[in-house]
Chains A and B, each alone.
Chain A
């Protein structure tokens, strides 16, 4: 009887559910940071071609994710969907297979927890979005970087996290002014739109984002679920946190969003770079 009740309750979600086959490839290459220099970098890619932006997985509630993660790097890595699946080791050249059903709307962070946060700091972190709507949606994977530190991690050296002082700050692997060229990151819409912004922080710093022009509603937070419903113009995103924000713009214009730890609007001590983008709303 109990099983029947659960089945009935899940029915609406299951009707539209599907098995979603995805693959992630751990690849090592580099990204070019705002000073023009290359930073050695690893990401979870959707194909065997490297990009500096981690692949994003978008599901509907009730979907079954059938995921293969392939380690194409020369070193061992781990894979974990935080709070959802356990950390699993993937040796070089090996793969793991994960099957998981995502029942509810929200956001999940996946990353490499091996020697945390060392491996994750190399770039290995992304998001799984579960949503039952087709409203305009944008995705910000926020991260910060310290020059020279990725080389240290790759060489197996010790990192002094107690004195961590990053000097590059990115959304989806890009800094200002390149963030606005990423159509997944640059929020655009028209007055009255219902817009969703899915935010993860796969770095180690807390990033307090400030929105000009509008308040946004917190729709989900993996760290502070009791904050759902808050209307905020300044919203902190904590390390390994996923947050879903809803914006309904009431006026046209171009308005900045930036980290209000203003040091992060620099890159290698040069202003203005770093965590700064704009929202563009048409009448």
Chain B
């Protein structure tokens, strides 16, 4: 009895010690629905497996989005209330060590009514996934997945330090549902620890989702409303078994700037973005004209290449970026320019402001601190340039024509 009490105290002290060094400690509860509650666009409701931050209540699809700061030390606890099989959390793309990788045979799994802790750092700002890796073909389809966002230390409105600034962001996670895989005999399946293999059904999906919604459910849930001049950062991820092809209106000037939590060495200006299972893309939108229409996500079969479904996302660019934000913006003139360029900064962002000018190949041709003196651009050849103005962790990009 004394020994058990001693062990309990030592364990408690160890947990406290570990927590004391953690920047972030959070808990997910893995559980199942006992009553179908996730409503599909056709009105039918299905059972889910999933993660939740609360014991009560029904599960959501996807599971909660987790947010961390760059280089945070994180303790992610999981309490398994599955009533049956063990579960894990695989931190997809975070490159954690083997012990915390969430693969049952190589890491650890958490049995029903037990708990486990994943300790890791998140060194690269970006978009990641988490999902169960126990019988993953079943448990991921059952709903055990969500998005992880790692933000840079400097500000929440930049892709990464010295990266791209944005006014707002959207996270769209694509997946699919085959309702036959959500039957009670699968979601509430008993656990046989001696079973080395599992028989699965043919995958014949009927529902194509964005953030757990499809068709008319997307209205009010998955839409893009933006103001003229607004820069929007899209975080796109695919946890399904089909490929996704997102086609955005050209007025959004979509630019792929990152993938899988890393900056792209060469950004891609394209209205079409292909996202395969497990991939993530960061796409910067620059809304430069009023617009009302739709973007689409095509779901294509990886075996045949054929598009089997298309989901429509309402896109509206209306109004202007707020006046207060406008007053905080740097002003650049004249444009077009010939020999000199002036950049006027509001007082609040004058300190440590700098400017770089890049040609259309992305090559830096000028870099200097901003002062009240004109910037000499006479040596630059005529043509189009991108001017990047940086101050206090924010960045403003402007097109410049030199004549």
Chain A residues proximal to chain B, CB less than 8 Å: 144, 161-166, 204-208, 210, 212-215, 226, 228-234, 236, 251-256, 260-263, 265-266, 269-273, 278
Contacts and interface: CB of A to CB of B under 8 A. Distances in A.
Contacts of A260: 276-278
B80 interface: no
A234 B93 contact: yes
Interface in B297-356: 302-306
A138 B401 CA distance: 50
A210 B199 CA distance: 23
B241 A270 contact: no
Given A213-B95, A233-B95, A262-B136, 7 more contacts: A165-B303, A210-B277, A212-B101, A213-B101, A230-B262, A233-B261, A256-B103
Q: Which of B96, B106, B260 has the most CB of A within 10 A?
A: B260
Q: Which of B90, B140, B197 has the most CB of A within 10 A?
A: B197
B44 interface: no
A234 B277 contact: yes
A233 B140 contact: no
Interface string B90-112: 10110111100101001000000
Given A261-B241, A262-B136, A234 B276 contact: yes
B138 interface: yes
B259 A232 contact: yes
Nearest to B197: A270
A272 B106 contact: no
Contacts of A231: 260, 262
Given A165-B303, A234-B93, A269-B201, A256 B106 contact: yes
A234 B303 contact: no
A271 B137 contact: yes
A207 B243 CA distance: 10
Nearest to A208: B276
Contacts of B197: 270-273
A261 B96 CA distance: 22
A269 B202 contact: yes
Given A233-B93, A234-B93, A234-B279, A205 B201 contact: no
A163 B279 contact: no
B136 A206 contact: no
B5 interface: no
B101 A164 contact: no
A282 B199 CA distance: 34
B266 interface: yes
B198 interface: yes
Q: Which 9 A-B pairs have the closest CB atoms?
A: A253-B98, A260-B278, A234-B278, A229-B265, A208-B276, A260-B277, A236-B276, A231-B262, A262-B137
Contacts of B243: 206, 208, 236
B365 interface: no
Contacts of B259: 230, 232
B376 interface: no
Contacts of A214: 95
23 contacts: A162-B306, A166-B303, A204-B303, A205-B302, A206-B243, A206-B302, A210-B278, A212-B101, A213-B98, A215-B261, A230-B259, A232-B259, A251-B97, A255-B101, A261-B241, A261-B302, A262-B137, A262-B141, A266-B137, A269-B199, A269-B201, A270-B197, A270-B199
B203 interface: yes
B264 interface: yes
A233 B262 CA distance: 10
B200 A162 contact: no
B194 to A, nearest CB: 15
B303 A236 contact: no
Contact of A263 (B93, B103, B137, B279): B137
A208 B279 contact: yes
B135 interface: yes
Nearest to B137: A262
B265 A208 contact: no
Q: Which of B140, B202, B279 has the most CB of A within 10 A?
A: B279
Given A226-B266, A230-B259, A233-B92, A206 B276 contact: yes
Contact of B278 (A161, A208, A269, A272): A208
Nearest to B133: A256
Contacts of A207: 302
A271 B135 contact: yes
Contacts of A204: 303
B302 A254 contact: no
Contact of A265 (B96, B97, B137): B137
Given A263-B241, A269-B201, A229 B95 contact: no
